[in-house]
């Protein structure tokens, strides 16, 4: 398990702790009151891969000139999705097709949002998993479907990653970046 996640290390050129503090500052500046143009990157993770990819994505988007903040779904009430116009979701699957344990509350709340309650939200899902499991990327798939059911619009089709995910992540990120340059009507 740990070995398969080592692939991400060369992508990161900073200590994760420092990024967390950066994200907290960004979060306090950007969240609260009205619709935020900040790109929200939500992650659901157990062994840290999705978390590291979310932090990397936030850093890259900031470097490209966008406001971006990475947050654990465990700390983010699904209702607050109404405050954002763009969310990127990076989520791993655990157990037998299940969410990471600390993502349960978020996905339950998301599932209870009324249909069409997120009409102004656009989103993209990067699902992490392993083809060694029969329920490949099931949680990412579920989030993708729940967001669509709640009325959010896909920026691009969901990307599902096996354990060697670097190329898929890079392609997903490039597609996200291209879509974010499009007018907001895209989706």
Candidates 9-17, 31-39, 42-50, 101-109; binding stretch for ligand FMN (CB under 6 A):
42-50
Strand partners, 55: none
Under the binding rule (CB under 6 A), the answer on residue 94 touching ligand FMN is yes
Under the binding rule (CB under 6 A), the answer on residue 46 touching ligand FMN is yes
d(CA 134, CA 120): 34
d(CA 176, CA 171): 9
Candidates 54-62, 70-78, 91-99, 142-150; binding stretch for ligand FMN (CB under 6 A):
91-99
Under the binding rule (CB under 6 A), the answer on residue 5 touching ligand FMN is yes
Under the binding rule (CB under 6 A), the answer on residue 49 touching ligand FMN is yes
Contacts with ligand FMN, residue ranges (CB under 6 A): 1, 4-5, 45-50, 92-97, 100, 128-130, 133, 135-138, 163
């Amino acid at each position: 398990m740990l070995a398969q996640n080592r692939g991400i290390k060369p992508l990161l050129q900073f200590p994760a702790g420092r990024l967390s503090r950066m994200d907290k500052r960004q979060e306090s500046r950007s969240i609260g009151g009205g619709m935020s143009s900040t790109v929200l990157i939500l992650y659901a993770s157990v062994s840290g891969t999705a978390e590291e990819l979310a932090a990397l994505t936030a850093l890259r988007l900031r470097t490209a000139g966008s406001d971006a903040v990475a947050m654990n779904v465990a700390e983010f009430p699904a209702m607050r999705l109404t405050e954002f116009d763009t969310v990127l979701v990076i989520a791993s699957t655990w157990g037998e097709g299940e969410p990471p344990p600390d993502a349960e509350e978020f996905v339950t709340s998301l599932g209870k949002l009324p249909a069409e309650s997120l009409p102004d939200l656009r989103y993209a899902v990067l699902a992490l998993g392993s083809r060694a499991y029969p329920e490949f990327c099931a949680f990412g798939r579920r989030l993708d479907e729940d967001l669509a059911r709640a009325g959010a619009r896909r920026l691009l089709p969901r990307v599902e990653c096996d354990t060697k995910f670097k190329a898929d992540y890079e392609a997903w990120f490039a597609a996200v970046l291209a879509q974010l340059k499009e007018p907001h009507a895209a989706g």
